[in-house]
Amino acid sequence: FAWLERADPEVAQVLLGELDRQRDGLQLIASENFTSPAVLAALGSTLNDKYAEGYPGRRYYGGCAQVDRAEQLAVERAERLFGAEHANVQPHSGASANLAAFAALAEPGDTVLAMDLPQGGHFTHGSRVNLSGKWFHPIGYGVTPNTEEIDYDEVRDLALAHRPKVIICGATAYPRQIDFALFRDIADEVDAYLLVDASHFIGLVAGGVVASPVPYADVVTCTTHKVLRGPRGGMILCREELAQRVDKAVFPFSQGGPMMHAIAAKAVALREASGPAFKAYARQVVANARELAVGLAREGMRPVTGGTDTHLVLADLQELGVTGRDAEARCDLARIVLNKNVIPFDPQRPALASGIRVGTPCATTQGMGEAEMRRVAELIGAAVRSDPGTTGGASRLADVADGVLELVRRFPAYARQEV
Ligand code: PLP
């Protein structure tokens, strides 16, 4: 960091400012985490400099002995940790991993069946604004109005009616475990591939606290930077018979040179995720999310599906008469970072939304437990109910911000020398 401070004080200030922001606020974005200093060290390393198009032992550049080793370590660790026959650790992101999976399994124009975006799905699964929705023919399934859980009957009916080439499950705002065996049955019934996007919960799979999709899916895609606590990036796991197609779909079909510094950092994160401490972490992530769901319900914010099995809670704010957009803005003023989110069958448009999504990966990495989650729910409740446009609203938000500072200072995210 001293180098950077001398060479570019402006960017150095940004880094320090971000460190302060992370430390002095409550980070509840469900897709974020605090990576370890070891992961950050691999990321900020000379492996960044190396071109290595191709795969270990089959590169289009010389000088790849060291980066080959890094990639082999990442691949071996991913295969061992998830019991996968094949791993590709080169995708630059979750979106890149999904693009490659589409390319490996389908042709443009093919029908794909995936969860609708407003019901919790991800935009790379067939949304019209994304290549997946422009080049493929997406059919959307959703959740049932009464349980707010995936409507498996609808999935089966749509699969039988549309005979998709690929069925996708795995969402971005869905708090429950997915029945992969049932998805496998439906895919087999219509001779479709099953693609599981495990981005949100792959860390919970590593920690052994949710079921693994690997035995059921043809292809599993994921990010490496959410609960898994690695560098920003993507990864693909698949059966051996699809290995070549997946590898070719990543390089050269959709990517060029792999980011070897990120791949080394993925190797570090995968090693960390293989240890007993990570299992305890994953258990605590879920215990914390459950406690948070109970606390939010107490504050008048109804957890969608009645609770959670994972690291996130989707809360319905309609009873409080506050939109997701206002809740997010009020929380922001109180040093609480979360995001507005549509809820199933949301009467509001997405820019306003009726819900918020909160996740526990960051707070759990900081060492917070259930007792702290009860306090976090109170702080969120107080912030959401404080309208800064009304008398006393701004000062109440300032009081909440003080409460947040008091809490997070007991659980510092990073020591300054770590970054
Ligand atoms: N898939 C799912 C389910 C996600 O939640 C996300 C990101 O939040 C992605 C894919 C995309 O990942 P990335 O932002 O790395 O492209």
Residue 268 has pLDDT above 90, yes or no: yes
What b/e sequence results for 358-375 when a residue is b if at least 16 CB atoms lie within 10 Å of its CB, and e otherwise? Answer: bbbbbbbbbebeeebbeb
What residue type is 134 in one-letter code?
A: K
Calculate how far, in angstroms, residue 258's C-alpha sits from the geometric centre of ligand 1: 19
Contacts of 177 (CB under 8 A, 6+ apart): 210, 211, 309, 310
What residue type is 153 in one-letter code?
A: D
- Which ipTM was obtained for this model? 0.99
- pLDDT score for 1: 86
Which residue is closest in CA terms to ligand 1's atom 5?
172
Q: Quick one: angle between helices 260-273 and 65-82, nearest 10? A: 30
Indicate whether residue 339 lines ligand 1 (CB < 6 A).
no
Cβ-based neighbour number of residue 155 at 10 Å: 23
Percent of the chain with pLDDT over 90: 97
Indicate whether residue 122 lines ligand 1 (CB < 6 A).
yes
Q: Given ligand 1 and candidates 89, 96, 124, 227, which is best to mutate, with the most ligand atoms within 8 Å of its CB? A: 124
User: Does residue 111 have an active-site annotation?
Assistant: no
Task: Look at the chain and count its residues.
Answer: 419
Q: Note the pLDDT tens digit of each residue in 269-287.
A: 999 999 999 999 999 999 9
In 44-192 the beta strands, taken as DSSP E runs, fall at 54-55, 58-59, 86-88, 111-115, 137-141, 166-169
Q: Note the pLDDT tens digit of each residue in 126-158.
A: 999 999 999 999 999 999 999 999 999 999 999
Q: Note the pLDDT tens digit of each residue in 4-46.
A: 999 999 999 999 999 999 999 999 999 999 999 999 999 999 9
Indicate whether residue 94 lines ligand 1 (CB < 6 A).
yes
What is the average pLDDT across 182-200? 98
Q: For residues 8 and 26, what is the distance between their CA atoms, to the nearest angstrom? A: 29
Residue 323 has pLDDT above 90, yes or no: yes
User: Does residue 107 have an active-site annotation?
Assistant: no
- pLDDT score for 314: 98
165: pLDDT confidence band, cut at 50, 70 and 90?
very high
Query: Whole-number mean pLDDT of the chain?
Result: 97
Identified catalytic residue from 24, 79, 179, 232: 232
User: Does residue 232 have an active-site annotation?
Assistant: yes
Outline where 90-249 has alpha helix (H).
94-105, 131-135, 152-162, 180-189, 202-206, 243-248
418: pLDDT confidence band, cut at 50, 70 and 90?
low
Calculate how far, in angstroms, residue 101's C-alpha sits from the geometric centre of ligand 1: 13
- pLDDT score for 419: 56
Indicate whether residue 199 lines ligand 1 (CB < 6 A).
yes
Calculate how far, in angstroms, residue 95's C-alpha sits from the geometric centre of ligand 1: 6
DSSP H or E run through 370: helix 370-384
Q: Quick one: angle between helices 393-408 and 370-384, nearest 10? A: 160
Whether residue 415 contacts residue 373, with contact meaning beta carbons closer than 8 Å, is answered with no
What is the average pLDDT across 297-321? 98
Tokens of 61: 């550049």
Whether residue 341 contacts residue 12, with contact meaning beta carbons closer than 8 Å, is answered with no
Q: For residues 234 and 296, what is the distance between their CA atoms, to the nearest angstrom? A: 32
Indicate whether residue 226 lines ligand 1 (CB < 6 A).
no
Cβ-based neighbour number of residue 146 at 10 Å: 7
DSSP state of 83: T
- pLDDT score for 78: 98
Q: For residues 369 and 374, what is the distance between their CA atoms, to the nearest angstrom? A: 9
DSSP H or E run through 339: strand 339-341
Residue 416 has pLDDT above 60, yes or no: no
User: Does residue 50 have an active-site annotation?
Assistant: no
Check whether 117 is labelled as a binding-site residue. Answer: yes
pTM above 0.90, yes or no: yes
- pLDDT score for 351: 97
Calculate how far, in angstroms, residue 125's C-alpha sits from the geometric centre of ligand 1: 10
Which residue is closest in CA terms to ligand 1's atom 9?
94
- pLDDT score for 417: 57
Q: Note the pLDDT tens digit of each residue in 166-175.
A: 999 999 999 9
What is the average pLDDT across 216-223? 98
Q: For residues 152 and 155, what is the distance between their CA atoms, to the nearest angstrom? A: 5
